[in-house]
């Protein structure tokens, strides 16, 4: 049985996916106390706290590392020059002091067979592309992992636009292909509860405010405004700010103001199972699901990772071209 660890675990989206694939979670870490509560309610295990305070030596050996890590800018002073000369720079230089650095430390010491990392699709353009460049360099050059990355939109599995980038790495050059996600043609109406408390219906004050706000920005040529969904279509991306007013995903109602999604509907919108326990307040639940990964997407990718680990077909990789300073001076 393959063992995995669940970093920046949130409410356990990665864990659901990999346990569905027959893997065993041997460690998890999540600093938010409300997310810890939800995680413990569902897995009978409270995650460890702040990963920056946990010595790497105390983390169990594992085959797969999973993490939905926060996006932070890195210092890249000197990195471009070193790369041009073919000189491998120390991994601590560009990522020191970031939460990504904690992942790097664990990979460096534990050397898992594979890892899967998730982030918003804009990671590639974050800080004018510098952040993603550092991430690729650190994972492939400094840690010597063979990486693959791709943006997935969960809209074929759940009824919302949700694009996220996934980075997969292996400690050996083995054959791996990202999956083609099936299209289940999901619809918003399929995730709605039959009976919903009136507290989720927008007040006249809030509904009037949202309409005026949208009209004001429409006149300015901006696209800001509420998202009244087509029940036979899909929704906008559920975000952690949904608890504020629910404006991005509003459900139309006959003869009354639209309403927010309920926490259970948010769980369905994210692909969480019906058995998933929601022990926290509505506001906390909205934050948690808005920050979560979509378990069915992770499971589809995880299935291909496990397939590659079970049948490790070696791929021939050409060694990098190293140009020393003498050769460089001759070129120019």
Q: What is the pLDDT of residues 32-66, one digit of tens each?
A: 999 999 999 999 999 999 999 999 999 999 999 99
**Beta-strand (E) ranges in 154-305?**
163-170, 251-253, 256-259
> For the chain, where are the E strands, in sequence order?
3-7, 24-28, 64-67, 114-120, 146-153, 163-170, 251-253, 256-259
| Residues lower than pLDDT 50 in the chain | 75-93, 319-332
Alpha-carbon distance of 250 to 259, in angstroms, equals 6
- Catalytic, out of 23, 25, 71, 266: 71
Query: E-assigned strands of 192-255?
Result: 251-253
pLDDT of residue 311: 86
Identify the pLDDT of residue 313. 76
Residue 305 is predicted with a pLDDT of 98
In order of 120, 136, 137, 169, 237, the CA distances from 314 in angstroms are 31, 21, 22, 14, 38
Residue ranges of the chain assigned to CATH 3.90.120.10? 188-290
Cα gap 56→41, rounded to integer Å: 26
Pick the CATH number of 3-182+291-331 from 3.20.20.70, 3.90.245.10, 3.40.50.150, 3.30.470.10: 3.40.50.150
As annotated, the residues of the chain forming the CATH 3.40.50.150 domain(s) are 3-182+291-331
Confidence at residue 71, expressed as pLDDT on a 0 to 100 scale: 67
Residue 116's closest CA among 164, 163, 157?
A: 164
The answer to whether 325 touches 185, Cβ cutoff 8 Å, is: no
* 8 A C-beta contact, residue 29 and residue 9: yes
What secondary structure letter does DSSP report for 142?
I
Into which CATH architecture does domain 188-290 fall?
Alpha-Beta Complex (3.90)
Q: Specify whether 71 is catalytic.
A: yes
Burial (Cβ within 10 Å: 0-12, 13-18, ≥19) of residue 295:
buried
Per 3-state DSSP, what percentage of the chain is helix, strand, and coil (rounded to 5)? 40, 15, 40
Coil, strand or helix at 81 = helix
Q: Tell whether the torsion through CA atoms of 171, 176, 182 and 183 is positive or negative.
A: positive
Q: What is the per-residue pLDDT for 5?
A: 98
- In this structure, are strands 114-120 and 163-170 parallel, antiparallel, or unpaired? antiparallel
Distance CA 286, CA 9 (A): 16
- pLDDT score of 312: 78
Q: Map residue 271 onto helix, strand or coil.
A: coil
Residue of 159, 295, 164, 290 lying closest to 235 (CA atoms): 159
Sign of the four-CA dihedral 225, 230, 231, 237: negative
């Amino acid at each position: 049985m393959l063992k995995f660890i669940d970093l920046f675990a949130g409410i356990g989206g990665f864990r659901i996916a990999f346990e569905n694939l027959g893997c065993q979670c041997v460690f998890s870490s999540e600093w938010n106390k409300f997310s810890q509560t939800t995680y413990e309610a569902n897995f009978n295990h409270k995650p460890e706290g702040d990963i920056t305070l946990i010595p790497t030596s105390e983390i169990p050996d594992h085959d797969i590392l999973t993490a939905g890590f926060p996006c932070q800018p890195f210092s890249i002073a000197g990195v471009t020059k070193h790369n041009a000369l073919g000189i491998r720079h120390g991994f601590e230089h560009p990522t020191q002091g970031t939460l990504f650095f904690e992942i790097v430390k664990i990979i460096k010491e534990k050397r898992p067979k594979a890892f899967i990392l998730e982030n918003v699709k804009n990671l590639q353009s974050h800080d004018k592309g510098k952040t993603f460049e550092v991430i690729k360099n650190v994972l492939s050059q400094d840690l010597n992992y063979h990486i693959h990355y791709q943006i997935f939109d969960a809209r074929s599995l759940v009824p919302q636009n949700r694009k996220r980038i996934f980075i997969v790495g292996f400690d050996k050059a083995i054959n791996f292909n990202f999956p083609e996600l099936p299209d289940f043609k999901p619809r918003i109406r399929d995730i709605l509860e039959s009976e919903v408390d009136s507290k989720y219906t927008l007040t006249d004050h809030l509904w009037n405010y949202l309409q005026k706000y949208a009209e004001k920005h429409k006149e300015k040529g901006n696209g800001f405004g509420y998202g009244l969904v087509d029940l036979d279509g899909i929704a906008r991306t559920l975000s952690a700010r949904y608890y504020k007013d629910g404006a991005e995903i509003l459900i139309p109602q006959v003869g009354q103001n639209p309403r927010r999604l309920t926490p259970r509907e948010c769980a369905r919108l994210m692909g969480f199972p019906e058995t998933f326990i929601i022990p926290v307040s509505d506001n906390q639940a909205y934050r948690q699901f808005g920050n979560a990964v979509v378990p069915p997407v992770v499971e589809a990718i995880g299935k291909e990772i496990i397939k590659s680990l079970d049948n490790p077909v070696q791929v021939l990789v050409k060694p990098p071209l190293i140009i020393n300073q003498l050769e460089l001076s001759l070129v120019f």
